[in-house]
Amino acid sequence: MSMRAAFLSTALALEPWVEEMRRHMPELELVAGGDDESLEIALAWQPHQGALARLPNLRLVHALGAGVEELLADPGLGAHVKVVRLVDPAMTAAMGEYVQLQVLRLHRQDLTYRAQQAAHEWRELPQPSAAERRVGILGLGALGSEAALRLSVLGFDVAGWSRSERRHRGFACHHGSDGLAALLARSDILVCLLPLTPETENILDARLFAALPAGAALVNCGRGAHLVESDLIAALDGGHLSAAVLDVVRAEPLPPDHPFWTHPRIVLTPHAAAATDPRTAAPIVADALRRFAGGEAVRNLVDRARGY
């Protein structure tokens, strides 16, 4: 049975999606921009303003990314519309790789060695073992739990934090507001892989930094709005935090005069930790659309009240 879906994105190119969806779902026609009021399904990632509102018959939006805060905040998204987020094992692996790289960079004191090289200084630093380095992961979902597992395989002393109680083999789990204090107190390196919700916005602030051990470091690959940027600068300049790796920032691209560009204890990447790849995402989207059309349960539905 043929199916039509709107493709709504200011950020993703249409052609690769047409090609990959044709490969995995030949019965689907993608309608660019979606200017057809009869459409019931949309694939969306940063849609044009007002694009969702122009689809009054919409029943399902499949996000072409993992974090759905922007879609949920779109005033054109009807309250009854189901939203599916992307959970792609290739994206999970890419994020796992990124977190391993950055935690190893911090663990092996790479920023200090780079600064020493710039100063022509040949000086070996005392190096703790991975087992002596405590890593905390905020968010134990698709991405956070894989990152935690990979870090524990590398030998780090890992613990994680989620909203509800979770159990994982290989690392300790904390949950809820009570669990946060315990996680922070034992995190020499803190990795944020939370979704952005009203509860998690600005969570990485001065109070949270003060609850980390002196000399701790931060890796933020959730969203820029998790972080109070001025609090980070203050914690780095005051010496309580030793370094930060930021894949996401509040305004992307980062404004040219932003202090993060030149801060000696900040490593920046341009929201590049784990991008959506249509080659691996298309079969996952196709499966969800087929299930939806067949009246079956669709996986990875967003709980709109919870915000993720």
Nearer to ligand OXD, 236 or 248 (CB): 248
| Smallest gap from residue 161 Cβ to ligand NDP (A) | 6
149 binds ligand OXD (CB under 6 A): no
Q: With CB under 6 A, what is the number of residues at the site for ligand OXD?
A: 5
Question: How far is the C-alpha of 7 from the C-alpha of 25, rounded, in Å?
Answer: 15
- Name the one range near ligand OXD by CB under 6 A: 8-16, 62-70, 157-165, 201-209: 62-70
Exposed e or buried b per residue across 119-135, where buried means at least 16 C-beta atoms within 10 angstroms of its C-beta: eeeeeeeeeeebeebbb
Measure the CA–CA gap between 89 and 93, rounded to whole angstroms.
6
Is 65 one of the binding residues for ligand OXD (CB under 6 A)? yes
Cα torsion 5, 308, 191, 239 to 10°: value is 120
Quick one: which segment of 52-60, 61-69, 145-153, 293-301 binds ligand OXD (CB under 6 A)? 61-69
By CB atoms closer than 10 A (0-12, 13-18, 19+), residue 187 is: buried
Q: Which amino acid is at 179?
A: G
Written as one letter, the residue type at 282 is: A
User: Active site includes 62?
Assistant: no
List 30, 276, 288, 292, residue binding ligand OXD (CB under 6 A): 276
Does residue 47 contact residue 10 with C-beta atoms inside 8 Å? yes
Smallest CA-to-CA distance from 4 within 59, 63, 75, 78 is with 59
Q: Which residue has the tokens 């930060």?
A: 244
Member of 8, 43, 51, 66 binding ligand OXD (CB under 6 A):
66
Q: Which is nearer to ligand OXD, 46 or 109 (CB)?
A: 46
Please pick, among 134, 223, 226, 265, the residue that the annotation labels catalytic. 223
Q: Which does 143 bind (CB under 5 to 8 A by kind): ligand NDP, ligand OXD, none?
A: ligand NDP
Active site residue 80: no
Determine the size of the site formed for ligand NDP (CB under 6 A).
Answer: 31
Select the span of 7-15, 52-60, 133-141, 228-236 touching ligand NDP (CB under 6 A): 133-141
Contact stretch for ligand NDP (CB under 6 A) within 126-134, 137-145, 235-243, 291-299: 137-145
State how far the alpha carbon of 130 is from the alpha carbons of 105, 106, 188, 267, in Å.
Answer: 12, 11, 11, 21
Site string for ligand NDP, 148-187 (x = CB under 6 A): -------------xxxx-x---------------------
